[in-house]
């Protein structure tokens, strides 16, 4: 666990006026809480060092956000991204300790997000069938307090949903302040499956990219942080996973023939994904292309990017809104006496 400093090093004796002493005392209490939460303690004038994955091996660090982000207005060619990429790591065992550490930190950061209550996080998961959207939810979010998180899986729209604009059902599922929302599939289906299968004419879906960018900008301006992950798998890996489902009685119920027939449209989906990633990756709502043939690498990268993003917010626990000394004096005086003897 990274601890940058022991808060007891931050002294309030230097503060000369009563007001300054009070402020220094509050800062010290805040830092002590921070320390007990296992988070890097911010020292005035010193920012925590950016956290990066150790996956480069041999001490070389990899910044997954930089490595896998789709730069705004850049060209996307998915054929150039190897879905089997794992950097210098070669097995799940190499990644396990780091994933465990991220899950632990994510729990604490989510607690701060909730306590702070002013901002939220939206995680969008997209990918072909069997790319691992459900698995990512299970593994990366496994330790999060269920009270602070919502998961919404977007399926074929209902008649009620179709009677509204395509963003209606999505907006209603956006995270409330203080919480995390996961979209398992999302409004992007309306420029993916809708485009590939011509569910609406081109003049309709082609205008949706701009509407999506505007919609996400609106969320960002309402203090929602947005991270969008495209789980990139190869067609061979997809077929391998389908076969595993076929052979596993516990998962046979998941199989549908359309999963197989949809493979005929693979290239069309690739083109639709490339267009969506190019047109809607923005600085404040970026897309990341995650090599996902190896599930453990996918989980490691997604968790790293989420934790790094939340740590960059430098969230603080809110100050207590009561006078703690007064409360202790009023209601715990008997305890104090008891403990004294």
Query: Interface residues with Mg ion (CB under 5 A)?
Result: 129
156 binds ligand ATP (CB under 6 A): yes
Binding residue (CB under 6 A) for ligand ATP from 29, 108, 211, 254: 254
Toward ligand ATP, which CB reaches closer, 68 or 269? Answer: 269
250 binds ligand ATP (CB under 6 A): no
Residue nearest to ligand ATP (CB): 189
Neighbours of 324 (CB within 10 A): 9
| Token reading at 149 | 């998180």
155 binds ligand ATP (CB under 6 A): yes
Q: Could you identify the residue written with the tokens 């041999």? A: 58
Toward Mg ion, which CB reaches closer, 110 or 238? Answer: 238
Q: Of 219, 213, 209, which is closest to residue 276 (Cα–Cα)?
A: 209
The DSSP annotation for 292-305 comes to: -SSHHHHHHHHHHH
Toward ligand ATP, which CB reaches closer, 253 or 331? Answer: 253
The DSSP annotation for 182-237 comes to: EEES-GGGGGTHHHHTTSS-HHHHHHHHHHHHHHHHHHHHTTEEEEEEEEE--HHH
Toward ligand ATP, which CB reaches closer, 111 or 154? Answer: 154
Binding residue (CB under 6 A) for ligand ATP from 63, 104, 116, 129: 129
Binding residue (CB under 6 A) for ligand ATP from 10, 95, 194, 305: 194
Strand runs labelled E in the chain = 120-127, 149-153, 180-184, 224-232, 287-291
237 binds ligand ATP (CB under 6 A): no
306 binds ligand ATP (CB under 6 A): no
* Cα first-last separation, the chain: 38
Q: Treating both helix axes as pointing N-terminal to C-terminal, what angle do 324-331 and 333-340 enclose, rounded to 10 degrees?
A: 70
Toward Mg ion, which CB reaches closer, 153 or 234? Answer: 153
157 binds ligand ATP (CB under 6 A): yes
Compute the least distance from the CB of residue 218 to ligand ATP, in Å. Answer: 19
Q: Of 316, 294, 310, which is closest to residue 90 (Cα–Cα)?
A: 294
Q: Report the interface residues with ligand ATP, using CB under 6 A.
A: 129, 134, 153-157, 185, 189-190, 193-194, 199, 254
């Amino acid at each position: 666990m990274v601890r940058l400093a022991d808060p007891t090093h931050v002294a309030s004796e230097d503060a000369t006026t009563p007001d300054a002493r009070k402020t220094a005392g509050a800062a010290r209490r805040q830092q002590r809480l921070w320390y007990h939460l296992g988070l890097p303690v911010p020292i005035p004038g010193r920012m925590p060092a950016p956290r990066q994955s150790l996956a480069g091996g041999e001490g070389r660090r990899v910044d997954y956000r930089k490595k896998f982000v789709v730069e705004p207005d850049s060209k996307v060619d998915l054929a150039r991204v190897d879905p089997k990429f794992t950097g210098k790591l070669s097995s799940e065992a190499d990644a396990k300790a780091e994933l465990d550490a991220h899950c632990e930190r994510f729990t604490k950061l989510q607690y701060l997000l909730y306590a702070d209550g002013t901002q939220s996080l939206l995680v969008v998961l997209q990918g072909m069938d069997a790319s691992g959207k459900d698995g990512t939810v299970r593994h990366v979010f496994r330790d999060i307090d269920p009270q602070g998180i919502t998961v919404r899986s977007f399926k074929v729209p209902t008649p009620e949903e179709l009677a509204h604009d395509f963003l209606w059902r999505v907006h209603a599922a956006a995270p409330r302040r203080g919480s995390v929302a996961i979209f398992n599939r999302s409004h992007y289906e309306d420029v993916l499956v809708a485009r590939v299968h011509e569910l609406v004419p081109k003049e309709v879906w082609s205008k949706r990219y701009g509407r999506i960018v505007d919609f996400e900008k609106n969320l960002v301006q309402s203090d929602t942080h947005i991270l969008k992950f495209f789980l990139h798998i190869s067609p061979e890996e997809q077929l391998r996973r389908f076969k595993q489902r076929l052979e596993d009685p516990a998962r046979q119920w998941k199989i549908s023939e359309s999963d197989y027939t949809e493979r005929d449209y693979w290239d069309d989906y690739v083109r639709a994904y490339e267009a969506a990633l190019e047109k809607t990756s923005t600085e404040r709502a970026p897309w990341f292309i995650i090599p996902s043939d190896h599930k453990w690498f996918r989980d490691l990268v997604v968790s790293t990017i989420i934790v790094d993003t939340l740590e960059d917010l430098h969230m603080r626990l809110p100050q207590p809104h009561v006078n703690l000394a007064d409360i202790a004096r009023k209601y715990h005086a008997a305890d104090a006496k008891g403990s004294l003897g």
